[in-house]
Structure 1
Amino acid sequence: MATRISPYLTFNGNCKQAMQFYKECFGGNLTVETIGDTPFAIEFQDGMHDQVMHAMLTSREFTIMATDFMGSQDFVHSSDISIALLFDDQQEVIRCFTKLAAEGRVIYALNDQLDEDLFGVVQDQFDIIWMFNYNVH
């Protein structure tokens, strides 16, 4: 039996923007369902209808799921989890790292020496922490 672990991210009203950005970074197929798209939209205030109930970015290699909806709970941002990305293409790790870092914050810069292992950490513009790994061998 194979088990896959997929992160489920919670955003504070900018889930759709974040997931579209991640699609630009990583590729994949994105589906987004807003609260207004659901049969129980009438139970929510009009101002909540554009919030994302469930989004899913999928490819053969990964699935990232996300939401804006916390039910009756208040949104609490936490930095106790990082998403580790394992790459087998050096140029792709550099491209993705650069894109996520552009409007985010580099916590640990990538080593830019060719033919060497790469490791770096970025906190993106949505406050998600990504760990980048590329091993030559």
Structure 2
Amino acid sequence: MKIHAYLTFDGQCEAAFKFYADCLNGSVDLMRFGDSPEAPNVPEQFHSRIIHACLTHGDQMLMACDTLPGTPYTGIKGCAISLQVENLPEAERLFEALSAQGSVEMPLQPTFWATSSAVLTDRFGVMWRIICNIDAQMG
């Protein structure tokens, strides 16, 4: 069994996943409502929305979709995507990339549980936790 996070957006899934692929050096596969067997059941103006997105980085996977028309959307709440990295330069790179146009709850800093850790919400409303347990300068 594998456990993967699955995010839901309100029309921003494609932009978010292209941004994440850039930040995480991953690749994205997108399927639109209009290209799926559900197309006849979805109003044409929503055919460009994403019915399923998959971002892969090595053997890691993050998935998502857009909401359907008329589905209440209150944002992504109560969870965060955690990135555990092996060196401080990578933690700094990810922090800078993901926090661009977002908000920072805790800047990248040493903590009692990690060499360095940060908490931010990106411009799409997704919370991220970056955790670095091995400082490259410490060997």
Unaligned runs of 5+ in 2: none
The count of corresponding residues between Structure 1 and Structure 2 is 132
Equivalent position of 2:27 in the other structure: 29
CA contact 2:7–2:76 (8 Å) conserved in 1: no
- Displacement of 1:58 in angstroms is 0.8
What is the CA deviation profile of residues 35-55 of structure 1, one whole-angstrom value per residue up to 9, with x for unaligned ones?
Answer: 011123122111110100000
Q: Secondary structure at the match of 1:24?
A: helix
Determine the C-alpha separation between the residues in 1 that align with 2:48 and 2:95.
30
Q: Secondary structure at the match of 2:108?
A: coil
Cα pair 2:83 2:131 within 8 Å, conserved? yes
**96-105 or 72-81: which moved more?**
72-81
The 5-angstrom pairing of residues 47-126 of structure 1 reads 47-70=45-68, 73-111=71-109, 117-126=115-124
Displacement, 1:61? 4.2
What root-mean-square deviation, in Å, do the aligned CA atoms of Structure 1 and Structure 2 show? 1.8
TM-score (norm 1): 0.88
- Between the aligned partners of 2:58 and 2:47, the Cα distance in structure 1 is 31
Amino acid aligned to 2:7: L
The 2-side partners of 1:105 and 1:67 are apart by 23
- Partner of 1:19: helix, strand, or coil? helix
Partner Cα separation in structure 2 for residue 109 and residue 61 of structure 1: 28
Runs of 4+ in 1 over 4 A off after TM superposition: none
* Partners of 2:26 and 2:76 in 1: CA distance: 26
Paired with 1:77 and 1:125, the residues of 2 have a C-alpha distance of: 12
- Which AA in structure 1 matches 2:57? S
Who is 2:125 aligned against?
127
Match of 1:42 among 21, 40, 46: 40
| Percent of aligned positions that are identical | 30
